[in-house]
Each structure stands twice: as C-alpha cells, then as structure tokens.
Amino acid sequence: MRITNKIMQRNNLSNINTNKVYQDKLSTQMSTQKKVSRPSDDPVVSIRALRLRSNVTEVTQYYSKNIPDAESWLDVTEDALKNLTEIITNMIQQCTKASNGDLKSADRQIILEQLKALGDEVYSTGDADYAGRYVFTGYRTDTSLSFDKEYNTKYEITEQLDNSSITQLTKVNTGKLLDITANNYNDQNQDYKDITENSVSSTDVYRIRLAYDDCKEGGNVKIKFGTTELSTAGRTIRATTSTANPDPYTDIEKYPNGAIYVADTGELLIGKDLYNQMMACKDDPATSDKNEGEIQITYEKDHWVKGDLRPEHYFACTSTDADGKVTDYNKSYLDGKSEKQVIEYDVGFNQTIQVNSTADECFQHGIGRTVDDLVQAMQDVVDLENVKTKIEGLQETATGTDAETLTKQMEAVEKALTLAKDKCQKMFESGITTFQGYLDDANLCVTNCGTRSSKLELIDNRMKSQKTTFETLKSENEDIDVTETAIDLKSAEMTYEAALMATGKVMQTTLLNFI
C-alpha cells in the first residue's frame, strides 16, 4: 500500500484530535473531581453512583434529621415523666406524714396546702410539647391534654370500668355540727341546741368514683354491665348532690337494687344488692372479643375549668359545642376495639421506633381524684377542730343551760373528730399504696422511654457507621484519584505537544520537496 503525505497528515490530525479529547476528559475530571460527567462516559459507574447516592441520602435523612427529632421527642417525654414521678413521690411523703395520728392542726393545714398544690401541678406536666406538638395526646398532637381555661362545652362520657373500680367509702355524718357559731349554738329553733353525741354517725357505702366531679346533675346517667341496664330515665338511678336532703350517703340504704348519682362529687353510690350483682359479673376467658365483666357508665359534664383533663384522650365520648356542632370521639372503644395511638419514627432501613407515651399510661384521672378524696378527708378534720376550738372558747364564759348545751355539743364534736381522724388516717394509709401504684406506672413509662432512648442511641451509632461506609463507597465510585489524574493529564499534555511538533514537521514536507 502506498502511503502518501496526505494520508500521513490525516492520520496525524486524527491522532492529535484523539489526544485532545483525552486531554479534555482528564481536564474535566480534574476540575469536577468526578470520574464521569455524563452517564454515557461510563454507564456502570453511573448506575452504581445513582444507587449509592440514594443510599447516602436515606442514611443522611435518618442520621441528620429523623434520629435527632426522635431523640428530642424522647427527651421532652422523659423530662415530663421524671417530673411526674417527683410529684407523686411528694404525694406519698405527704400521705406518710398525714397517716400519723398525732398531728397538730397546723400540721394538717400544711399537708392540706401541699396536697392541693401537688394536685394542681400533676396534670400541668402532661401538657409538655415538642415543636408545638403535645407529646402525651396520641395522634391528637394539636390538642392539649387538659383544658387551658374555663369552657362550657357539653360532653357525654362513657367510662369503661370493671368491678375493681367499686370501693367502700366511710362517710361521717355530722349533721349541723359544722354550722355552730357563737350566735346560734343555743338556738332551739334551728336544732343546734339539740345536738348531741347521737347526732353524729358513720356510714359505709359502696361507690364508683368517676373520672370527673362537678358533673351535670340533670343529665341522663346510664349503667350497663352484663345484660343489665340502669338509668336515671328509668329512675333506678337517682340523681342528686352531696348537700341534698336527705343525705345521699345514708339514703342509699333505701335503694338496695339501685344507685344514687352524686353529680357535684362525681360519685355513683351503689346499693347492696346491686353491688353483689356487679361483683358477680366477670369476664369469660372463652370470648376474647368481648368483656362480659365490663361496667359502662355514661354521664354528662358541661362545665370545665383550667386543668381538667380532656375526655377525648381517654374515653368514648360525644361533645356538643356552643354552636351545636356534635363530634364523636373513640366510638370504637365501646366495641372493645381501642387502638393504641403509637407515634413512630423511621430511623433506619425498614426500622421504626416508638417515641410517644400516651396519657392513659401515666397521667391517670385517679391521681387527681385520690388527691381530692384525701384533701376532703383532711379538710373535714380541720373543720371539726375549728368547731371544737369555738366551743372551747364559748365554754369559758357559759353557765347554766348554755354550759350543758355546749358540753353535749363538745361530746358530739369529740365523737365526730374521732371518726373523722380514723377515716382520715386510714385513707392516707391507703393513699400511700394507691400513689405507689401510680408511681410504679410512671416509673415504668420512664423505663420504657429510657429503653427507647438507648435503642435509638445504638441505631444512631449504626447509622453513623453506615453513613461513613456509603460515603466512602460513593467517593470511591465517583471521585478521581487526583494524583493519578494529574500525572495522566501532564502526560497527555506532553504527548499532545510532541504530536504537534511531529505533525508540524510532517506538514512541512510535501512531494514538491523531492522534485
């Protein structure tokens, strides 16, 4: 084959262009620090790069955003729960002090004030929020656990209990003893003069303490257990108040097969025969989808004060606002289909972690209601001690029949005080056990929260390691070796320059030079 100068020129120009393309490729790699600038440069590297970039993005989302967010939520929850445990521990300490039978009146007053303050604080802790989301309210993160001010919204509430909720209450009936003053102690017309030791009595009653007090007296109250249904509409349940005449705590004896609903205190007093029926009502283990031992109590409450727990976080209920708008909450609870409102974060590949604790696990109604009972029992003792002090002052100057009247009244006060102190001491002793149960529940929530935090810390460490691994693989796949590429680029430049020199000499020589 004959090689002409023209062929040599074309070949040299083609090779120079190839060297220039190679030099441009290396120059682009040096400027971008990447092996490829378009998928066609290396399809295998490009596909692998897309996969690794996706992995790095996911791990970064978990490690830099989801995990810190979950950690913050758990930290807020744990702080609130620890505060709750401190409050309940203080309540136990106050119960321990109050169970001492030799307390002075001033000591009782201090304990009384302490319990009231602790009772006001316990549910405020439950309104803890993270980034504007309430942490103890399940899926309703935009709704506070308790009411933030006074509301007049009607709620029809159905509590689902069992016969363990029925307790025995000792009620000390003091009659008009607490109304005695220096002006009326000898008033015959008002029966104060006739007060004697026999005017004081003590009654034991069975009761179910509802979640709320200050309920609607005129609302239709219903009790359902087993196949039995009772209601105020059928008059099997009588609605009244604690200050009504006759006294509901003694009047319940007249309703052995019925109940008395005490609206202002939120109590359902149970007749003896009805109590026996309820205690005999038990769940059948063979029917797992139905609780035959459940006691459903439906009642109404239309006035709420700051600090009252919102019923929609606990019960099946229906609210009716001032405009007549009706909203149903948790109706599935009545069919035994209560769903745990768990909030979970994606913190890893196919891995989630629960971050929330729900109010029913720790901020239970029984804490505040137990405080109410203890405060009332202590207040009864304090009130009787004040009456005793009044009578002792009157006895110093009284003579004749007035002195005899005051002596009888003093005997009545002494009896009432003995009964009230005995009741108070037993209730505070029982309160220690009750609050210890709530403290155990709160500690369990703290433990669960701590366990989740520990698990999240392990996940965090693993995600950190995976992030480093994927970033390393991504870099090895996409990034150039700068030293090697710089050497190749320099070599390409020298080759290109040498090619230009050689081609220049070839281009200078033609066939005419040899003629």
Work out how many domains the chain is built from and give that number: 1
273-308 pLDDT, tens digit per residue, is 999 999 998 877 777 777 888 999 999 999 999 999
Q: Which pLDDT score is estimated for 510?
A: 61
Measured CA distances, 273 to 192, 222, 236, 238, 276 (Å): 36, 18, 13, 16, 5
Whether residue 132 lies inside any domain: the answer is no
Q: Which pLDDT score is estimated for 338?
A: 75
Whether residue 91 lies inside any domain: the answer is no
Whether residue 288 lies inside any domain: the answer is yes
> What amino acid is encoded at 4 in this protein?
T
Integer Rg of the chain from CA: 41
Whether residue 248 lies inside any domain: the answer is yes
pLDDT interval class at 419 (50, 70, 90): very high
Whether residue 454 lies inside any domain: the answer is no
- Say whether pLDDT at 375 is over 70: yes
- Say whether pLDDT at 515 is over 70: no
What average pLDDT does this structure show over 90-106?
A: 88
pLDDT interval class at 25 (50, 70, 90): confident
What average pLDDT does this structure show over 363-374?
A: 94
Measured CA distances, 27 to 19, 45, 315, 491 (Å): 12, 19, 71, 12
Highest mean pLDDT among 33-47, 185-199, 290-304, 468-482: 290-304
Determine contact, residues 354/452, Cβ cutoff 8 Å.
yes
pLDDT interval class at 509 (50, 70, 90): low
- Say whether pLDDT at 353 is over 70: yes
What average pLDDT does this structure show over 372-379?
A: 93
Measured CA distances, 225 to 164, 172, 201, 295 (Å): 13, 30, 33, 5
Whether residue 25 lies inside any domain: the answer is no
Domain holding 254, by residue range, is: 147-340
Whether residue 482 lies inside any domain: the answer is no
308-334 pLDDT, tens digit per residue, is 999 999 999 999 988 889 999 999 888
Whats the size of the chain, residue-wise?
515
- Say whether pLDDT at 367 is over 60: yes
216-246 pLDDT, tens digit per residue, is 887 789 999 988 899 988 778 888 888 888 8
Determine contact, residues 231/259, Cβ cutoff 8 Å.
no
Query: Residue 224: beta bridge partners?
Result: 229, 296
Determine contact, residues 36/45, Cβ cutoff 8 Å.
yes
Q: Is the pLDDT higher at 182 or at 430?
A: 430
Percent of the chain whose predicted confidence (pLDDT) is above 70: 96
Q: Could you write out the three-class secondary structure of 391-423?
A: HHHHHCCCCHHHHHHHHHHHHHHHHHHHHHHHH
- Say whether pLDDT at 1 is over 80: no
Whether residue 308 lies inside any domain: the answer is yes
Q: Which pLDDT score is estimated for 71?
A: 95
Determine contact, residues 196/412, Cβ cutoff 8 Å.
yes
What average pLDDT does this structure show over 78-104?
A: 91
